[in-house]
Amino acid sequence: MKKQTIILFIITSILMLLGLYFIILKPIDNTKAKITNKITRSATYEVYLKDNPYYDNNPVKNNIYASNSIDYINIYFNYNNPNNNYTYNITAKIKGNINNNLIWTKNFILKENQATNNKIKDNITINYDSYNNLVNSYENTYNLILDATLNISLNIKYNNKTDSINIDIPLTKTTTSIISNYEPTTINITNIKNITYINYIIGTLFIFISLILIYIKTNQKNTPKEKYKNIKKRILKEYKELIINVNNEPNINNLKLLKVFNINDLIDVAEQNSTHIIFYESNNQSNFYVIINNYVYLYILK
Give pLDDT tens digits for 267-297.
999 999 999 999 999 988 999 999 999 999 9
pLDDT the model gives residue 300: 93
Rounded Cα distance, 22 and 176, in Å? 68
Rounded Cα distance, 17 and 202, in Å? 12
* pLDDT band with cut points at 50, 70 and 90 for residue 21: confident
Average pLDDT over every residue of 65-72: 93
With 0-12 CB in 10 A as exposed, 13-18 as middle and 19+ as buried, what is 29?
exposed
Residues 79 and 40: beta-carbon distance below 8 Å: yes
* pLDDT band with cut points at 50, 70 and 90 for residue 194: low
Selected from 2.60.40.3880, 3.30.70.270, 3.30.413.10, 1.10.530.10, the CATH number assigned to the domain covering 33-192 reads: 2.60.40.3880
Q: Which uninterrupted H or E stretch holds 302?
A: none
Average pLDDT over every residue of 236-259: 92
pLDDT the model gives residue 223: 74
Single out the residue of 100, 92, 94 nearest to residue 133, CA to CA.
94
* pLDDT band with cut points at 50, 70 and 90 for residue 2: low
Backbone angle region of 27, left / alpha / beta, with phi > 0 → left and psi within -120 to 50 → alpha: beta
With 0-12 CB in 10 A as exposed, 13-18 as middle and 19+ as buried, what is 264?
exposed
Rounded Cα distance, 188 and 236, in Å? 82
Average pLDDT over every residue of 111-119: 89
Q: 58 versus 124: which is more confidently predicted?
A: 124
* pLDDT band with cut points at 50, 70 and 90 for residue 16: confident
Q: What is the DSSP letter of 27?
A: P
Buried b (16+ CB within 10 A) or exposed e, 92-111: bebbbeeeeeeebeeeeeee
Residues 201 and 7: beta-carbon distance below 8 Å: no
In this prediction, what percent of the chain has a pLDDT beyond 70? 90
Average pLDDT over every residue of 158-166: 91
